């Protein structure tokens, strides 16, 4: 799949196209199972992605990019790491670079959407709106090519004339992109219009980088064998399938497509295994059902509100129960492992007491954090509130915090992925060194944190139902939204040339 340099190759490949609401993790994994060489995620807008936090989800064995509004914007896993292309919607080179650098270690390549004609993509100058601004296209792509280690590609639509289209792709090629995908329709054309294979062929003849043909699902690709025919008709290096794959992802099987009901069942298994958003699951299954959405089964599916209910529609309740039991067992094993691994002995490093501690969100109940416990204990003992100082390591942007309590300093020797986590880890070191409770699940209530507040917050969080989204709920509930934690994070300072924070 990769070339000699270890980078993703786009020559002679069959590819799952980026599709909004379709190209989430379950569909990508299923396409790979059936024979796709490369899979693109759905277009994700740079403004939203730039606000995300990268979170390793040990229960699902995924990497999640979670927005401030608590949604999982992008979820990926090791199975697709070397074959997934992250597509973004952007009109800003600096923001595009920030997003690309956020995800580049978890994907195989970065793609910029320059072809989608729909309003959600074109507003703000993104998508096909970029086609009228070649200079901005050049700036965005050049910035990405220079700024990330993974291959950069883009996906365009054709322009009104052949000459304009060829001129644009030549400019794009000069930016250093690894490949260009061409949807063979103009931005004002829709699926009912025939795909212009002659335009794609002209592009392929005028550039030296791989050209990926797209747009043939309606007229050209009905079977696996048609994929090669479309490639030949367009003169492209590779073929990218959108709707043909959406209707039946087993189109990628060289042995021939399976009955769509078999593909639906396999898709649902991935959706449950990776805790896919229920309404996203339902949308994708409806696309596969096509005209059967108005059948009694289709109406049942429309009424489903959870992945469990979707499984019930397709007679997969036993599978759902077993999958849930497996995930709960994994969660419990991880919690027990963390409990035994994290309690080591403090070591004095200069004037700082250190321990090897990681802050794991899943170890704490909703709205409870070690920082809260440390703050409440300090107040109870009539001491100055804890003072946190945080440093960021340049090479990997990891964080490490030191907390000052009663004229003593405490720090974890392990670096964290965020400043928030680093401060929580420092608080844990202090609490464990002093033999104080920290609010872990299963820990006897110490009375340090107001019980009524905790119960109310737990009720608020419990309203958000779902299975393994409990992992995300625990993560979200430990955000420092409580007044107590906000009070301890309201002054910025610089520490050793990097970002740090202190509390007055």
Model pLDDT for residues 481-497, shown as the tens digit of each residue: 444 444 444 333 333 33
End-to-end CA distance of the chain: 54
The CA distances from residue 18 to 197, 257, 338, 442, 490, in Å, are: 20, 21, 38, 44, 41
Q: What percent of the chain has pLDDT over 70?
A: 84
Quick one: pLDDT band at residue 401, thresholds 50, 70, 90?
Answer: very high
Average pLDDT over residues 147-158: 95
Instruction: Check if the beta carbon of residue 128 is closer than 8 Å to that of residue 157.
Output: yes
Average pLDDT over residues 149-156: 96
Query: Residue 331's pLDDT is what?
Result: 83
Average pLDDT over residues 20-35: 97
Instruction: Check if the beta carbon of residue 115 is closer than 8 Å to that of residue 183.
Output: yes
Query: Residue 467's pLDDT is what?
Result: 37
Quick one: pLDDT band at residue 4, thresholds 50, 70, 90?
Answer: very low
Place of tokens 């250190």: 354
User: What class does CATH assign to 14-255?
Assistant: alpha beta
| Residue 337 confidence (pLDDT) above 80 | no
- SS3 state at 207: coil
CATH 3.30.160.20 intervals, the chain: 344-501
Q: How many CB atoms lie within 10 A of CB 408?
A: 13
| Residue 347 confidence (pLDDT) above 80 | yes
- Chain centroid to Cα 64, Å, comes to 5
**CA 101, 106, 111, 117 torsion: positive or negative?**
negative
- Identify the helix (H) or strand (E) that includes residue 501: strand 498-501
Query: Residue 106's pLDDT is what?
Result: 96
CATH 3.20.20.70 intervals, the chain: 14-255
User: What residues act catalytically?
Assistant: 116
Q: DSSP assignment, residue 402? A: E
Q: DSSP assignment, residue 363? A: G
| Residue 499 confidence (pLDDT) above 50 | no
| Residue 460 confidence (pLDDT) above 50 | no
| Residue 466 confidence (pLDDT) above 60 | no
By the 10 Å C-beta count (0-12 exposed, 13-18 middle, 19+ buried), 127 is classed as: buried
| Residue 353 confidence (pLDDT) above 80 | yes
Instruction: Check if the beta carbon of residue 378 is closer than 8 Å to that of residue 384.
Output: yes
Mean pLDDT of the chain: 85
Instruction: Check if the beta carbon of residue 502 is closer than 8 Å to that of residue 388.
Output: yes
Q: In this structure, which topology does domain 344-501 adopt according to CATH?
A: Double Stranded RNA Binding Domain (3.30.160)
Query: Residue 470's pLDDT is what?
Result: 38
Quick one: pLDDT band at residue 443, thresholds 50, 70, 90?
Answer: confident
Place of tokens 């990497």: 63
Average pLDDT over residues 80-108: 96
Query: Residue 5's pLDDT is what?
Result: 55
- SS3 state at 431: helix
| Residue 288 confidence (pLDDT) above 70 | yes
Residue partners of 421: CB distance under 8 A and separation at least 6: 359, 399
Task: Tell me the two tokens of residue 49.
Answer: 């992605």
* Least confident range of 81-85, 370-374, 469-473: 469-473
| Residue 81 confidence (pLDDT) above 80 | yes
* Least confident range of 20-29, 181-190, 219-228: 181-190
| Residue 138 confidence (pLDDT) above 90 | yes
Residue partners of 188: CB distance under 8 A and separation at least 6: 117
Query: Residue 282's pLDDT is what?
Result: 95
Quick one: pLDDT band at residue 39, thresholds 50, 70, 90?
Answer: very high
Query: Residue 397's pLDDT is what?
Result: 82
* Least confident range of 29-33, 77-81, 82-86, 416-420: 416-420
Query: Residue 440's pLDDT is what?
Result: 86
- Identify the helix (H) or strand (E) that includes residue 154: strand 152-157
Closest by Cα among 395, 362, 378, 388 to 434: 378
Query: Residue 330's pLDDT is what?
Result: 87
Query: Residue 127's pLDDT is what?
Result: 81
* Least confident range of 5-14, 256-265, 292-301, 484-493: 484-493
Q: How many CB atoms lie within 10 A of CB 55?
A: 20
């Amino acid at each position: 799949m990769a070339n000699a340099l270890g980078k993703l190759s786009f020559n002679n490949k069959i590819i799952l196209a980026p599709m909004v609401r379709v190209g989430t993790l379950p569909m990508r994994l299923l396409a790979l199972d059936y024979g796709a060489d490369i899979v693109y995620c759905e277009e994700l807008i740079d403004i939203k992605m730039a606000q995300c936090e990268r979170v390793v989800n040990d229960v699902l064995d995924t990497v999640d990019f979670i927005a401030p509004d608590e949604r999982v914007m992008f979820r990926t896993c090791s199975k697709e790491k070397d074959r997934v292309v992250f597509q973004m919607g952007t009109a800003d080179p600096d923001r595009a670079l920030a997003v690309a650098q956020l995800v580049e270690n978890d994907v195989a390549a970065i793609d910029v959407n320059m072809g989608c004609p729909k309003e959600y993509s074109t507003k703000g100058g993104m998508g096909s709106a970029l086609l009228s601004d070649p200079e901005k296209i050049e700036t965005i792509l050049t910035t990405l090519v220079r700024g990330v280690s993974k291959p950069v590609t883009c996906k365009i639509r054709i322009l009104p004339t052949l000459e304009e289209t060829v001129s644009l792709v030549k400019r794009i090629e000069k930016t250093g992109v690894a490949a260009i995908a061409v949807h063979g329709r103009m931005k004002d054309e829709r699926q009912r219009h025939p795909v212009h294979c002659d335009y794609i062929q002209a592009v392929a003849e005028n550039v030296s980088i791989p050209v990926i043909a797209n747009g043939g699902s309606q007229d050209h690709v009905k079977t696996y064998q048609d994929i090669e025919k479309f490639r030949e008709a367009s003169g492209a290096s590779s073929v990218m399938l959108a709707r043909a794959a959406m209707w039946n992802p087993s189109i990628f099987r060289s042995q021939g497509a399976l009955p769509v009901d078999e593909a639906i069942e396999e898709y649902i298994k991935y959706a449950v295994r990776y805790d896919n958003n229920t309404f996203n699951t339902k949308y994708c299954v409806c696309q596969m059902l096509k005209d059967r959405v108005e059948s009694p089964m289709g109406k049942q599916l429309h009424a489903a509100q959870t992945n469990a209910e979707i499984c019930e529609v397709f007679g997969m309740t036993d599978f759902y129960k077993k999958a849930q039991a497996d995930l709960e067992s994994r969660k419990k094993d991880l919690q027990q492992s963390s409990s035994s691994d994290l309690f080591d002995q403090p070591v004095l490093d200069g004037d700082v007491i250190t321990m090897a501690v990681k802050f794991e969100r899943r170890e704490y109940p909703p709205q409870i954090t070690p920082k809260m416990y440390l703050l409440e204990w300090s107040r109870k003992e009539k001491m100055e509130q804890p003072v946190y100082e945080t440093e960021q390591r340049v090479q990997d942007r990891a964080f490490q915090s030191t907390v000052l309590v009663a004229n003593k300093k405490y720090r974890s020797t392990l670096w964290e992925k965020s400043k928030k986590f680093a401060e929580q880890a420092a608080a844990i070191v202090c609490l464990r060194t002093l033999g104080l409770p920290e609010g872990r699940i299963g820990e006897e209530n110490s009375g340090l944190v107001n019980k009524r507040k905790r119960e109310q917050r737990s009720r608020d969080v419990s309203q958000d139902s779902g299975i393994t989204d409990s992992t995300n709920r625990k993560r979200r509930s430990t955000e420092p939204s409580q007044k107590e934690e906000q009070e301890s994070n309201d002054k910025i300072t610089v520490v050793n040339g990097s970002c740090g924070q202190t509390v007055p």
